[in-house]
Structure 1
Amino acid sequence: MNTKVIRTEEQYRAYLEEVQVLMAQAPALYTEESDRLEVLTVLLEAYENSKYPVEPPDPIDAILFRMQEKGLKQADLVPYFGTSSRVSEVLHRKRPLTVQMIRALSLGLGLSAETLVGLSAPDTEQSKKEIDWSKFPIKEMTRRGWLQNISHQAKTSVEDIVRGFISDAGLQFGSASFRRTLSGEAKSPTTQYSLYAWLARVIQSSREKKAKLGTFRDDHLSSNFLRELAQLSWSDQGPLLAVEYLEKQGIAVVIEPHLKGTQLDGAALKDIDGTPIVALTLRYDRLDNFWFTLLHEVAHLWKHVGNEDAFLDDLNTESEDRREAEANRLAREAFIPRGVWRRSDAFIAPSRESIEKLAKELKIHPSIIAGRLRKESGNYSLFPDLTGQHQVKALFLSTAECEALK
């Protein structure tokens, strides 16, 4: 049986003609002709699937077809959608199918979940209408100089300005949300708009740094990289040295205080061109918080951040996300290896002397050890004079900026 995988249109047409001849002969089962017909049919189907893929059916069209097939009216779909108004909105493509609707329709109408998932989101224009622009912190964004003065602008003009601010950062809109997956414990339904506004500002600020960034290489990120970064904390100018070090490695570092109402320490993400970004809010003006947040976000860049991800972190909140746990572990190990920590006098009998001794041995700032003791014991009254209080913002923000953000 001389048959080959179909690679050309001529070969496809030749096999198609042969199949038509064989089918006209109606060969008996288990004969040579029958076997050849079966093989040729398989080859033709494989070629057609690769050359002319069938687009998935539109879910609304599939529902309407099944309604016609079964003689159903819109009122008959209420059990699957919940209310008659929802039936009308979905069938007129004004509301997307939810998971619950898909499950109910799959069972009730016999439609596959794949068909219903297909293209169930409403179109882009409808999605944009679902964005409540009034929920953006427009006054604070204007006060910080992110937007032009819009106090006397018409509502529609304000929406255009904010939309332009968000889209300039590459945060395009998808179905009822933004085309950027937010992870981390700082995100919540009540802070989504503020977080996206802050994120847009961070991306725009990072682009102002691109001219002075070095060339980023993924394979530079490693445990040794984190350890080298951690040891910069030994210097009084450590935070500035860390930013300089990261930017030489092609990582943009942005200092942008959090917006009111958000509980945000830092973020890790990539711009649309792949430039890695670490952003810090300096929410707590302490050296221990600065250093742990910085290494936590760099660990995210190393292990977790893709082109459409953004990790926004509230490091005071315990997370069940394994990626957050891994970033915490990598940051802790970079500063103080676990084996060293458990055997150290700073852990066994913490005192100012034992903390400073371990800090000198590891070439890290004492604030990091003091911060770890406070965190693990849950006693934040311990060693307040060792945490580097009020020693970070002064390095990055002017007095006027600090006052404006109070």
Structure 2
Amino acid sequence: MNDAAYMDIDHPGVFIKEELEARGWSQRDLAYILGVPEQAVNLIISGKRGVSPEMAKALGEAFDVTPDLFANLQRMFEMAKAREPDPAVGRRARLQSAYPIREMIKRGWLQDTDAALLEAQMAKFFLVANSNEIPHLAHAAKKTDYSDTPPSQLAWLFRVRQIASEMVVPKYSEKALREVLPRLQQLLVDVEEARHVPRLLAECGVRLVFVECLPTAKIDGACMWLNKQSPVIGMSLRHDRVDNFWFVLRHEIEHVLNKDGQDKPIVEDLDAAPEAGELPPHEVAANDAAANFVVARAEMESFVARKAPFFAERDILGFARRLQIHPGLVVGQIQRRTGRWDFLRRHLVKVRPHVLPGAMVDGWGHVAPVSL
């Protein structure tokens, strides 16, 4: 039944009054039949009291009709008298159906305000002219197709972009980035050395941003460009362990060096990555560069050939010491090769306490100082 149909609905008391007249009963007669005070009947007939479910059943018995008749009359009357909902309800529902709006407000990405301003904030957040162009909303007229990027990932990606756009770094130099790789590799020996990474990349003109994942997002890193001369690397640290940090970082650096992601950002969930034969060439290249950076491939292959299938902790420690890398990097490689994810996990130490203090960070209790 549409809203117009509710406009002419009378109170159930009108029907009861007509039925009494047709039967020649008085209100006192009905009260006697129902076993209730006459005043209770009068309040219903005068429209001052509604018909409760219990009364609907009693009236149905008294008039020999289904109780649903009175229950439906009461429901339709209440619907007719109910106020129209605030239009903002539908607008907020439209946004929340696609994006974790409440979480974005909680994280300080948006301000909690009325629906119209919230839509305007979302349009600004996603760099579109109006709310109808926001990706993943119904009838969105998107200038860039993000249909293959889940909304929660996309929100994370645009937060990285928003933060990066306010960072000030020197002009990007591919030469400087390639030259800094050996310096980065020297940091692999101690997890605390990760604190130098944001500065070293910034000196090359690469904006490195750490943004905590939204609850429903599965994302490790991203590579994007603000323009052809301004690369950005985003990292989530959702797997806060030394091997994952360096693998994801070097993976994204390779994308930057190859100018990947200039036309459309590359967003990565490495846990969901397909088999190597199904990966696009730019992902194969990034994976190869990352793996070889973390532990030199020739060295790793030789170590595995000599020690497999039994990897003693003392051998791993000696191998890592010889290569001057953290033992967690070796453990991570062995875990990936063997599928033994519980193997020597104590060496997979956390990086976040060391890298975040000197970085641009959003999440983990911190809100990046950017304008909304």
Under a length normalisation based on structure 1, what TM-score does the superposition of the two structures give? Answer: 0.57
- Per-residue CA deviation, residues 69-122 of structure 1 (Å, 9 max, x unaligned), is xxxxxxxxxxxxxxxxxxxxxxxxxxxxxxxxxxxxxxxxxxxxxxxxxxxxxx
| Correspondences of 1:153-192 after superposition (within 5 Å) | 153=114, 155-167=115-127, 176=140, 178-180=142-144, 192=150
Aligned to 1:140: 103
For 1:166, give the aligned amino acid: F
For 1:247, give the aligned amino acid: A
For 2:174, give the aligned amino acid: D
Change (3 A) 1:199 1:179: farther
**Among 379, 383, 399, which residue is 2:344 paired with?**
383
**Among 171, 175, 178, which residue is 1:215 paired with?**
171
Distance 2:141 2:279 in 1: 22
Aligned to 2:159: 201
Change (3 A) 1:177 1:168: closer
SS in structure 2 at match of 1:142: helix
Among all aligned residue pairs of Structure 1 and Structure 2, give the percentage whose two residues are the same amino acid.
25
- Per-residue CA deviation, residues 223-262 of structure 1 (Å, 9 max, x unaligned), is x644432331213422211221111111110010111211
Aligned to 1:251: 206
Change (3 A) 1:307 1:181: farther
CA contact (8 A) 2:207 2:233 kept: yes
- Per-residue CA deviation, residues 128-182 of structure 1 (Å, 9 max, x unaligned), is x9xx6341221111111111122xx1x333211210122189xx86994644566
Aligned to 1:327: 286
Distance 1:289 1:387 in 2: 9
Distance 1:404 1:337 in 2: 36
Flag the structure with larger Rg. 2
Distance 2:163 2:234 in 1: 10
CA contact (8 A) 1:136 1:194 kept: yes
**Among 219, 233, 250, which residue is 1:264 paired with?**
219
Change (3 A) 1:385 1:332: same
Deviation at 1:197, TM superposition (A): 1.6
Distance 1:381 1:306 in 2: 34
CA contact (8 A) 2:198 2:208 kept: yes
For 1:315, give the aligned amino acid: L
**Among 386, 390, 396, which residue is 2:356 paired with?**
396
5+ residue gaps, structure 1? 1-128, 183-187
Change (3 A) 1:274 1:136: farther
CA contact (8 A) 1:230 1:295 kept: no
| Correspondences of 1:36-185 after superposition (within 5 Å) | 133-134=95-96, 135-150=98-113, 153=114, 155-167=115-127, 176=140, 178-180=142-144
SS in structure 2 at match of 1:293: helix
Under a length normalisation based on structure 2, what TM-score does the superposition of the two structures give? Answer: 0.62
Deviation at 1:219, TM superposition (A): 3.4
Distance 1:354 1:278 in 2: 35
For 2:156, give the aligned amino acid: W
Q: Of the two structures, which has the highest relative contact order with CA contacts closer than 8 Å and spacing of 6 or more?
A: 2
CA contact (8 A) 1:230 1:291 kept: no
SS in structure 1 at match of 2:271: coil
SS in structure 2 at match of 1:283: coil
For 1:165, give the aligned amino acid: F
For 1:246, give the aligned amino acid: L
Deviation at 1:200, TM superposition (A): 1.6
Equivalent residues, number: 261
SS in structure 2 at match of 1:278: strand
Distance 2:144 2:320 in 1: 40
Aligned to 2:312: 351
Deviation at 1:351, TM superposition (A): 2.3
SS in structure 1 at match of 2:248: helix
Aligned-pair Cα RMSD in Å: 3.3
- Per-residue CA deviation, residues 246-282 of structure 1 (Å, 9 max, x unaligned), is 1111111001011121110111111136311111101
